[in-house]
Amino acid sequence: MRVFQVLEFNQFTTGSVHQMFQAAAGLHERGHEVTIVSRPAEELEEKAHAQGIQFHGLALRNQFDLVSIIGLRRLVRTLRPDVIHVHKGVAHAVALAATLRDRVGAFVVNRGVSFPLDVWNRGKYRTDRVDRVVTVCRQIKDVVVESGRLPPAKVDVIYAGTDMNLFHPDMHDPRAFRREKGILDDRFLITQVGIRDWKGWMELVDSLSDIVPRHPNAHVALIGCRNEEDLQMVRDYATRRGVPWNVTAVEYRADMPAVFAASDLVVDASWAGTGITGTIREALAMRKPVIATDSGGNRELLSSPDVGWVIPMKDRNALSQTLLDVIEHPERARTVARNGREHVAKSFSKDLRITRLEELYRSILESKRPRQLATD
């Protein structure tokens, strides 16, 4: 199959770019002809070319970017893709406009956030030119079906995938990140990724302040500060909560397996916008105990107490108590962590995701073939 993966985001600081590129690379490895269309970006283009994937840069400034619409239309007419798979709102709108007269065999839309569809974007999903909406968890499917008033059969759940070889606990130095950041080996290191308000990082610091009197070696690393302003914001909040020496503000990292290898526990305290938290899935693959709020599809990932802890959103007492449970019952935590890696390998791996995408694309294309060809 000839497949376009289209996404306006172009930096490997967001999960959507990682998942788009994973799909592109995985499909290419299986013999499909893949083209990435995104805003020009040196890193993304170099990685694409290193994998043997075509890359075309378009500005994709907004949903009405006429230059990008014309540019994508030319690409479609030249390369004639069988499938266009779009991953965000601008890509979705531009691709619909670009294929108005040049229909493709399968038009697939990704949806990875749990925010409801509204009057401004609902039509892009309801049009019969969109063959299928792919959500990264069942909870988002339910939101899309209800808020978009879509038939359930139009929305498929394909879980985001984890590279089990990259996120392998035996392949990474568990002390490297600690040495770099000056975090002592005797610290119980709790890691959370993301410092947007709705990621719940402040709630985690609040709970840290609750447990430090009992466990003064508890330490939180907050990953994903974009600039000095973000770093200082985290430091200031930790100071106000009385735990300045128990919190490390950390820049965005491209070496998350090494960060997780150094961690004793990984937390996601999000209270909005969540699909299935990628960092929790990756931490499970790294054989780490995890705590996640009951946000988005996290309960689908942590489907049993045997693989992780799920707590209510914005429940400080529940988070504080669960932190204590993990710290004070290390053997239980190790057992759950071992189960977690097996769980991800079985149900949330990269290979399984690529297989599901292949099957989806083929089923759409086959359903559109003339009846006489289907009986040949």
- What letter represents residue 314's amino acid? K
* Pair (325, 363) in one structural domain: no
H helix runs in the chain, sequence order: 15-29, 42-50, 66-79, 89-98, 122-126, 138-148, 176-181, 201-211, 228-240, 256-261, 278-285, 298-301, 316-328, 330-347, 350-368, 371-374
pTM of the predicted structure, to 2 decimals: 0.84
Q: On the CB side of 190, how many CA atoms lie within 13 Å of its CA?
A: 29
- Give the pLDDT of residue 172: 96
223 is in which domain, residue-wise? 169-347
Mean pLDDT of 274-297: 92
SS3 37: strand
- Give the pLDDT of residue 371: 46
* Pair (29, 88) in one structural domain: yes
Cα distance between residue 241 and residue 95, in whole Å: 48
Mean pLDDT estimate for the chain = 94
* Pair (219, 361) in one structural domain: no
Task: Determine phi and psi for 288, rounding to 5 degrees.
Answer: -115, 145
Mean pLDDT of 171-193: 97
* Pair (26, 135) in one structural domain: yes
Mean pLDDT of 189-218: 97
SS3 170: helix
Which two three-digit tokens encode residue 182? 């000056």
Instruction: Give the CA angle between residues 328, 330, 335 to the nearest 5°.
Output: 140
Alpha-carbon torsion angle 261, 162, 345, 169, nearest 10: -10
Angle formed by the axes of helices 278-285 and 330-347, nearest 10°: 110
168 DSSP assignment? -
* Pair (132, 246) in one structural domain: no
Q: Is residue 274 over pLDDT 90?
A: no
- Give the pLDDT of residue 61: 97
Q: How many CB atoms lie within 10 A of CB 221?
A: 23
Q: How many domains does the chain divide into?
A: 2
Q: Is residue 114 over pLDDT 90?
A: no
Which two three-digit tokens encode residue 129? 């030119």
* Pair (329, 236) in one structural domain: yes
- What letter represents residue 99's amino acid? T
Cα distance between residue 36 and residue 20, in whole Å: 9
* Pair (144, 10) in one structural domain: yes
Where is 135: in which H helix or E strand?
Answer: strand 132-135
- What letter represents residue 4's amino acid? F
* Pair (205, 225) in one structural domain: yes
* Pair (220, 138) in one structural domain: no
Angle formed by the axes of helices 15-29 and 278-285, nearest 10°: 60
Q: Is residue 373 over pLDDT 60?
A: no
8 A C-beta contact, residue 183 and residue 263:
no
Mean pLDDT of 77-97: 97
- Give the pLDDT of residue 370: 66
* Pair (97, 8) in one structural domain: yes
* Pair (137, 193) in one structural domain: no
Per the DSSP assignment, residues forming a β-bridge with 189 are 219
* Pair (343, 357) in one structural domain: no
CATH number reported for the structural domain that contains residue 42 in this entry: 3.40.50.2000
